[in-house]
Structure 1
Amino acid sequence: MSQEQLNNPLHGLTLQTILTRLQEHYGWDGLYQRVRVNCFSNDPSIKSSLKFLRKTQWARDKVEKLYIDTFS
C-alpha cells in the first residue's frame, strides 16, 4: 500500500457507500442543507445523485469532506 493511501480515510470506500451512509445519517433534506446541489432536493435518489457526483468534481469533494467530518 502506498504511503499516500495510508492516511486516506476514504481508501476502500466507493462513492455509493459514502452517499448511502450520509443519506441514512442525514436524510435527503439534511444532505441538501449541508451540500447545496439540486440532486439532493429535486426527486432525490442514490442513482441520480451518483450520476451527478461522478461528473461534478466540486460537488463530490464536498460530499467526501462531509463524510470525513461526520464519520471520522
Structure 2
Amino acid sequence: MSSQPNNPLHGVNLEQIINELVAHYGWEYMSYNIKIRCFTHDPSVKSSLKFLRRTPWARTKVENMYLNMLKQKNR
C-alpha cells in the first residue's frame, strides 16, 4: 500500500517529469512559462536536472506545470 495514494508526484522522479514535459510541450513553451536559463539557453535534460535540484522555487514551478499537464490529459 502506498503511503501517498493521492499524490501524483509520488514515485515519479524529476528526470521523468522533465522528459514528459518536453515531449508534451517542448522546450520553447516551457521556457516561455518558466523563465529559467536552463530552459531558454541551449536546453537539455542534464542541465535542467542540475539546476532544478539546487533551486527549490524553480523545481516547484516545474512540478506544478507537470501537475497541470496531468490534469489536462485526464479531462
TM-score by structure 2 length?
0.88
Structure with the largest fraction of helix? 1
2:25 maps to 26
Letter in 1 for 2:59: R
Q: Alpha-carbon deviation of 1:36?
A: 1.0
Q: Which runs of 5+ in 1 are unaligned?
A: none
Letter in 2 for 1:32: S
2:40 maps to 41
Letter in 2 for 1:30: Y
- SS of alignment partner, residue 9 of structure 2: coil
TM-score by structure 1 length?
0.91
The alignment yields a C-alpha RMSD, in angstroms, of 0.8
2:55 maps to 56
How many percent of aligned residue pairs carry the same amino acid?
51
Letter in 1 for 2:42: D
Question: 1 CA distance for matches of 2:24 and 2:33?
Answer: 12
Task: Note the alpha carbon deviations across 1:2-56, whole angstroms, 9 max, x for none.
Answer: 2xx1221111101000000001111111100111111001111000000000000
Runs of 4+ in 1 over 2 A off after TM superposition: none
Question: 1 CA distance for matches of 2:33 and 2:8?
Answer: 20
